[in-house]
Every structure is written in structure tokens, then in C-alpha cells.
Structure 1
């Protein structure tokens, strides 16, 4: 069995920068910066702002709009309501803005799905959308995107990414379903008479603003329990902010879009998105991606949802079966149930079923490390791929010297708890070029595709860069037992 390496390498690009808020530590520092800018004459303000706009021209789209937004976010620190010139507002916004090179350190752990736009392509070619984990300053991970095509003769072509990276618009008025939110509170141990009373005062669908207002009212009414209830209120707000929406517009190219950590549970990164094009029983289809949210102490599995890669909804995953990393959703329901693979104990592969996409209560151990190259641990490398022979699952195994290899197995279509066959030798093992990187001796993927009866595998090389390999499906199956 021989995979075919394409020679394509996607390396991290330190030139791709995005505008991010800059917040000096402490309100006193913020006030002093504002005070210093306030001492400038209008002519000096115009001159400094012109220099900023000239120096950073061509590096960002609509920087003035970002400066305006930052000014609105810090204007609460102004000492008076005296009117300011537009240029002074923009300059204040610029002082509280920074560039962030989101993929300066690494670009890895890719996931492939077919692009929602398949128009204007040669016969036999298909367009794909690829997500990647980008790592920048402070080892903060975010999700970035690339697009490309795979021709009939398996030529993989990556579209040149645009120079700009643009942050999305956060949707502050996202509605929460009251019943669903109550269920999530119970799962997290936050279901108390106080929180139930708050929810009872809210409509069947409510916004974050309505929730925060209601929490403040009920907290004021129970002043005697203030110290006891404040931590509970904080946790409820964290849960709400972990379920949010972001939006892009069609004029933003796919490679221009980024999903940067936003919620409190994501402060230290969004890791390893596993995208899947999910088809429901009613014929509707959408993309989901399981990913790991990291706040610096704890890893939480989350679920992303989008129909078009323009509007993204982020949801918490809940239930006793949701733990550890590496969740991967099947692309359709199985016998009327959602199904997902996971590595709940960090070592073995489990199968889960649920009637509710965001709640998972049961798990079943289906695969144990069996071969020497997977004795330390094993898990999935993306969502299962449906082929005539069964569910094709790419796996990862960790062996001596913490070396990661990619394997594969075949699960029964009607009962994925049954293993039909599996590889007993790795499909991809790091070669001399691939073993050097941020984390040596690692190859890893978060999702592949089948095209023209060939498996197209994007994979990371030692947590640094990304490449592609292909293998004929029939050859792969013939080497399983």
C-alpha cells in the first residue's frame, strides 16, 4: 500500500494580519492614554492619524470602521460628554487597536468539505472548502479557511488567499430558547431556584441583553444573598456567551474569514475543527464542525453550525458523554439518531447516539488500541465518510516516542459499533521532511474527502504546516483486515 504525496505545502504566513482590540491592563492606563491624546491639537490629531492610515494602508480593509468601533467601546472611559472631532475619535480608536498575525507560528490540522458553490468548474472537478488551525502570538489558535479544486485526474489546486483577513460581525441579539437554556443549566449544575426564577420571568426566546438585565434585577432583589449568587450569575452569563453568532458578507472571500476566540471558554484558542456536510432526513443540509474550546485551564467540546460559511452559530455541547477532545459527527442520522465518534477517556474510540444534537448522554467503547503504533492512544481523524462498503474512518494512533500516525478503519453502515476491518499498518507515517516542526513526529488530519474513488487527505506535518496525499479507496480497503 502506497499513498501518493502531492508535494503541496501550506506554510504559516506571518504577513496575514488581522485587526484586534488592544486593551492596556487596568482602567488607569486606559484613562492616561485618553488623557494624552486629549492634549493634542486638532492639527496634531490630523497629522498622527494620517501617518497611521498611510503606514497601514493596504494591510486591512476598512480600518476606519474598526477604529470607529473601538472608540465606541472605550468611550465609557471619557470624563465628559463634550463633542469630539471625527479624526480624534478615529485616533483614539487606533490607540486601542493592534495587528495580530494569526498564523505566524503554525497552520495545521486541516479539514475538508465540498464547497457550497460548485458552479463554473470543468467536468469532473469539484471545489472544496478547507478549515485550518492557525496559531499566532501567545499560542492562540483560531480557525482560518482556504478554498481550492480537485480535478478529475486528482490534481489538487489551492486558491491564492487574499491579503486581507477580516474579523466578523458579532451578532449581539442572538436569541436563546428558554427550554434549551434551562436544560443546559441543569447539565452544568447551575439549575437552582434562583436561575429557574430568572428564566420564568423571560419569554420563550430571549436575548443576552434581556438575560443580563433580568439577572441584575433578581440579584438586587436578593441583596442578602449577593455574595453567594454573584458566582452563579457569572457562570450563567459565561454559558450564554459561549453560544453566539458571527456573520460575514458575500464580498468577503473565504480565505478572508476567520473564527477567532470570542467567548469566555475560548480565550486561549479554538482548536481542531472537524467539519462535516450534514444531510438531514428532510433533505435539508448544513455544515457542522466539532471543535475544542480552550480557556487556558479546561478543554470544552463545542459545535459550530453554518449553511454558507457566512453566518456561523456556536453552541456548547452538553451531557455526561461530552468530554475530552476529538468529537466527530457522522454526516447523517443513523436509524433516526444523531451519531458521533469521540475519545472520552483520551485513549479509546467511543460511539455516541442522541436524539438532541447538543445533548449527549450515552457512549459505547468500540475500538481499543491494538497495534504497536497506537498503543499510547487512538482517536478519529475527522468525521466518518460514507462509502458503499461502510463508514470509512481515518484514525490517529500514538506509539513510541509519542509518534503520531494516521490509520483507517471501516465500520458497519447500519451499526457503526461493528468494526468490519481496520489497517494494521499506518496509512501515513511522518517521513524525514514531515517529522520536523513545532511538535516533531506528528501527522494529523481533521477530515478528508472521496473524489473519483480516491481518498483525498489533507494533513498536518508536525503541527507546523499542511500538505496533501491521495490513495485509491479500493487499494485502501484491500489492505484492511
Structure 2
């Protein structure tokens, strides 16, 4: 199967009048809350430093941006940017957790921040110190009494657990690239948006790339109480760059998703196209589950 692109694509474009987002807007988080869609997007200006902007929408299609970013580099470990937000709502705590990547000469660091209003964020700092790591995203509920989070130690998707969102342990590999020469996901795999809980298991949208550095998306099902256990992982993919703005941009041949909210009976996959703009592609939840169970 393939996701269906929305006819309004691309939904979000750079604003040449704003220095901090004049070049690229991409790789966004999207959550529905109190009847509105809330987007946090990665933006780059003329200096290529990444900030995280915020936009609001009544329908998930038409967006109004704040004039200034809601998260910008502050610390040395963020000197070159704060990137690729993924936002999880923790219903039991009544708060939002943003997983974002800090980039600097010190490396690539996975960080977390907490908010109650989606605009002001309290940083928790780097949560996996001492290593280059990214593509982390928090599960929407505790598993066996602990917070759970995907992360990536190249080239694999890992999972870790925590009691306090700061100290993480029990690291396990969830998914590895397929053997060289055996598919679209032969080089690296990484997590996408917030895992979707279904009776069939955790539905996860993930990305991968091959030797030609083409990024694609696929879906897999993981065990509800042991997400390190992959129940189904089809060999195929559900989305690849075909539009001109997905093939040509700041980084060519990229569709990269940090958000896949469930909207009614559909999964809405927001994605960055060639690291330049934001697009949307959708599928019925039932169809995605059927695809995932085929592997």
C-alpha cells in the first residue's frame, strides 16, 4: 500500500521575511488537543541554525504560525540547532513532552522538554549523555510502570525505560536494517512519530534509507507490553519521495516523518519533503494495520 498525499501539499513553506525560518521548514510534530491541531516544526534561517516554531490549525491543513520560535538554542550543546521535535501527550500527567535533538560541535544529543500549554517549554536536558543519538520519541503511556522511549544508536532503533524521564536504562534493540543489498532499509532505520496503541499492538511508522540515501517510510507492529518484540515487519514500504519538492530540496530524496496522529479512523502522517517544506499523507488505520500484519 501507499499513503495518499493531501491535495493541499505542501502545507508549510519557509517564510523569506523571517530570518529564523527563511530557508527551510520541515520535520514537525503534530498533536490534537482541545479541538485544535498544534504543530512544532524545525526551521532553518540564513545561518542554518535550527529553531522550533509553533503553528496552530483548526483542521490540520491550514496553519497559522507564531512570529517567533518557541524553542531556540540556549546551551553549548544546542549551538547549531534544536531539531526534529516529536511531541507526546501524557494523559495521566496532563502534560506534553517534546523529544528534540540538540546539535553542536559537541555532537548530536537527544533532549527532552515538558510543557502544559505547548508554547512554553521546560528543558530536562540531554537524556542520554555521552553518546551521539537521535530519532527519540516517547510512548504515550507507561509500560509496566515505566516511561518508554525509542532512540537510535546507529544504525538501529532502540528502546529504553525510565522512572523520571531523565535517567534511562534497560536499552534493547528493536529493529535493525536489513542485510546489505536486501532492501530499501539496508543502511539505517529510525523512529517516526508517537507510537499508536491498537488492540493488535503498537503501530509504529518508521523511516529508513538505502545505499543511495533515499529515505522512505514503512509500518510495523510491536507487542503492547514488550515493545522490543516485533510482531510484524513487512519487507515493503508505504511511502517514498516522488514529488519534485520531495526529490529536490536542501537534502534530496527525503520523506521524513516525526508525527502520525490518529484523526478519526485515519492516520495523518506529516513529513518533511527534501528538508525544505512540510507535507501530509494519510491512510485508513485499518489499512495500515492490514499492511503491517502482512509481514
Q: Same fold (TM over 0.5)?
A: yes
Q: For each residue in 1:68-112, what CA deviation from the matched residue of structure 2 results, as whole angstroms up to 9, or x when unmatched?
A: xxxxxxxxxxxxxxxxxxxxxxxxxxxxxxxxx111110000111
Trace 1:345-384 onto structure 2 (pairs within 5 A): 346-370=154-178, 372-384=183-195
SS in 1 for 2:259: coil
Q: Which structure carries more strand by proportion?
A: 2
Query: Per-residue deviation at 1:311?
Result: 2.5
TM-superposed CA distance for 1:300, in Å, is: 1.5
Q: Distance in 1 between matches of 2:105 and 2:42?
A: 17
Q: Is the 8 A contact 2:109 2:128 kept in 1?
A: no
- Contact 2:221 2:231 survives alignment (8 Å): yes
Q: Which residue of 2 aligns with 1:160?
A: 64
1:313: Cα distance to partner? Answer: 0.1
Shift of 1:375: 0.5
Picking from 281, 288, 291, the partner of 1:476 is: 288
CA change 1:272–1:478 in 2 (3 A) is same
* 1:467 corresponding residue in structure 2: 279
Q: Any idea what SS the aligned residue of 1:369 has?
A: coil
SS in 2 for 1:431: coil
Residue by residue over 1:140-161, the C-alpha shift from the partner in whole angstroms, topping out at 9 and shown as x without a partner, is: 00000111134xxxxx432333
Q: How many pairs does the alignment contain?
A: 287
Q: Report the counterpart of residue 4 of structure 2 in structure 1.
A: 4
Residue of structure 2 in register with 1:276 after alignment: 88
Aligned residue in 2 for 1:261: 73
Question: 1:243 maps to which residue?
Answer: none
Rounded to whole Å, the distance in 1 between the matches of 2:76 and 2:32 is: 31
Whether the 8 Å contact between 1:321 and 1:352 is mirrored in structure 2 is no
Whole-angstrom CA distance in 2 between matches of 1:470 and 1:318: 32
**Alpha-carbon deviation of 1:361?**
2.7
Structure-2 separation of matches of 1:356 and 1:323: 21
Question: Residues 319 and 441 from structure 1, CA distance in 2 versus in 1: closer, same or farther, beyond 3 angstroms?
Answer: closer
Kindly indicate whether the alpha-carbon contact (under 8 Å) linking 1:328 and 1:380 is maintained by their aligned counterparts in 2: yes
Counterpart of 1:130 (choices 27, 36, 39) is 39
For 1:454, the equivalent position in structure 2 comes to 266
| Kept in 1: contact 2:85–2:98 (CA 8 A) | yes
Q: Provide the rounded CA distance (Å) in 2 between the counterparts of 1:441 and 1:381.
A: 17
SS in 2 for 1:134: strand
- Tell me the distance in 2 between the aligned counterparts of 1:319 and 1:298: 12
CA distance in 1, matches of 2:165, 2:3: 35
Do the aligned residues in 2 keep the contact of 1:321 with 1:360 (CA within 8 Å)? Answer: no
Q: How does 1:391-470 map to 2 (within 5 A)?
A: 391-433=202-244, 434-470=246-282
Matched residues in 2 for 1:324 and 1:160: separation? 32
Identify which of 14, 26, 34 aligns with 2:16.
14
- Structure 1's unaligned 5+ residue stretches are 18-100, 119-126, 151-155, 167-256
SS at match of 1:429: coil
Scaled by the length of structure 2, the TM-score of the pair is 0.92
Answer whether contact 2:70 2:119 (CA < 8 A) is retained. no
Give 1:262 deviation, angstroms: 1.4
Higher relative contact order (CA 8 A, sep 6+): 2
Please list the CA deviations of residues 174-228 of structure 1 after superposition, one character each: whole Å capped at 9, or x if unmatched: xxxxxxxxxxxxxxxxxxxxxxxxxxxxxxxxxxxxxxxxxxxxxxxxxxxxxxx
Flag as ranges the 4+ runs of structure 1 deviating above 4 A.
319-323
Distance 2:30 2:119 in 1: 17
Question: Per-residue deviation at 1:263?
Answer: 1.8
**Structure 2 unmatched runs, 5+:** none
Shift of the alpha carbon at 1:323?
A: 4.4
Larger radius of gyration: 1
C-alpha root-mean-square deviation of aligned residues, in Å? Answer: 1.7
User: 2:211 and 2:166 mapped to 1: Cα distance?
Assistant: 36
Measured against aligned partners, the alpha-carbon deviations of 1:336-388 in whole angstroms (never above 9, x if no partner) come to: 011111112x1011111122210113311121112511101001012212122
